[in-house]
């Protein structure tokens, strides 16, 4: 039977049982054939709890978990991918987005699935709380919102790799495919609902008036990274432009925080 016709029949039958707007069990689809990564499943169980309904349908969206009236979405990939979805959901229900930041990653390479381990090492790259702004830059049209909570765990993971180059056309010397990713440890979790809370992700103290050069020096990062952070602070309403110092734009902490978008 045609897959689309099959899904339509299931939805039609469910609508005879459940009222419009109710949360429905998700019907089988092509996405069901995609294997859920262990990391996504572990975070979903950890932050939604054992009693939560999982993989359910709400309107035209599939929801990771539902806890009471709250919809819970775990997003290990970029927040940009779920922006339109979350923007629609927060107009109807409270939504919590769990967005992990990877502090440390152990890379385990195998010759084949379940086969001999070729190497086991820690990645030299270390993540920090500032990585949140790399994600938030694509999410400022959604956050803040009165119905939206961001739950941000800083984590350690294991990434299991196999030989191969996935969907890439060109082969490279260090090509690999990621077989699975596992949660090792949650170092700390921070929950944010308002733009003001973003300041807690910045170490140190800025002057009352600052430009992106000041921000870069405080964070010991490149200027373009500071510009990205300043953009997030400005677009979410945590900071405001108050003038210029030469060619540099001057910012200050917003005196009257931009209101969260109405529920």
Domains of the chain by range and CATH?
202-257 (1.10.10.10)
Tell me the sheet residues that pair with 153: 189
CB 106 within 8 A of CB 122: yes
pLDDT recorded at residue 175: 73
Distance (Å, rounded) from C-alpha 231 to C-alpha 187?
A: 28
* 112 Cα distance to chain centroid: 30
* CB-neighbour burial class of residue 250 (10 A; exposed 0-12, middle 13-18, buried 19+): middle
DSSP secondary structure letter of residue 257: P
CB 105 within 8 A of CB 98: no
pLDDT digits (tens), the chain, 263 positions: 454 554 444 444 434 333 434 444 444 443 343 467 899 999 999 999 888 999 999 999 999 999 999 999 999 999 999 999 999 999 999 999 999 999 999 999 988 888 888 889 999 999 999 999 999 999 999 999 999 999 999 999 999 999 876 565 566 556 778 889 999 999 999 999 999 999 999 988 899 999 999 999 999 999 999 999 999 999 999 999 999 999 999 999 998 655 556 55
| SS3 of residue 253 by DSSP | strand
- Sort residue 103 into left (φ over 0), alpha (ψ -120 to 50) or beta: alpha
**CB atoms < 10 A from the CB of 23, how many?**
16
List phi, psi (to 5°) of 109. -105, 135
pLDDT recorded at residue 259: 52
E-strand stretches of 59-171: 61-67, 70-74, 95-98, 101-110, 117-122, 148-163
DSSP secondary structure letter of residue 173: T
The angle that helices 223-236 and 212-219 make with each other, rounded to 10 degrees, is 110
| SS3 of residue 6 by DSSP | helix
Contacts with 196 (C-beta within 8 Å, 6 or more apart), sequence order: 238, 257
- Identify whether 243 is preceded by a cis peptide bond (ω within 30 of 0): no
Q: Which two tokens stand for residue 173?
A: 């010397």
Q: Which of 229, 44, 33 is nearest to 137 (CA)?
A: 229
């Amino acid at each position: 039977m045609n897959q689309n016709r099959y899904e339509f029949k299931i939805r039609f039958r469910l609508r005879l049982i459940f009222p419009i707007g109710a949360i429905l069990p998700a019907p089988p689809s092509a996405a069901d054939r995609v294997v859920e990564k262990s990391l996504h499943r572990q975070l979903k169980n950890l932050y939604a709890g054992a009693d939560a309904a999982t993989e359910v349908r709400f309107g035209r969206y599939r929801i990771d978990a539902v806890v009471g009236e709250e919809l819970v979405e775990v997003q290990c990939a970029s927040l940009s991918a779920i922006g339109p979805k979350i923007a629609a959901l927060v107009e109807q229900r409270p939504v919590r987005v769990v967005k992990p930041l990877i502090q440390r990653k152990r890379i385990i390479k195998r010759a084949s699935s379940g086969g001999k381990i070729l190497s086991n090492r820690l990645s030299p790259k270390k993540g920090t709380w500032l990585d949140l702004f790399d994600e938030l830059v694509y999410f400022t049209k959604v956050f803040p919102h009165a119905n939206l909570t961001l739950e941000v765990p800083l984590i350690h993971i294991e990434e299991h790799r196999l030989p191969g180059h996935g969907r890439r056309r060109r082969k490279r010397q260090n090509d690999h495919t990621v077989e699975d990713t596992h949660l090792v440890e949650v170092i700390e979790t921070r929950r944010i609902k308002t733009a003001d809370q973003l300041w807690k992700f910045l170490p140190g103290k800025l002057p009352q008036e600052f430009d992106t050069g000041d921000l870069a020096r405080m964070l010991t990062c490149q200027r373009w990274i500071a510009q990205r952070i300043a953009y997030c602070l400005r677009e979410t309403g945590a900071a405001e432009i108050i003038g210029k110092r030469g060619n540099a734009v001057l910012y200050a902490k917003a005196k009257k925080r931009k209101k969260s978008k109405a529920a």
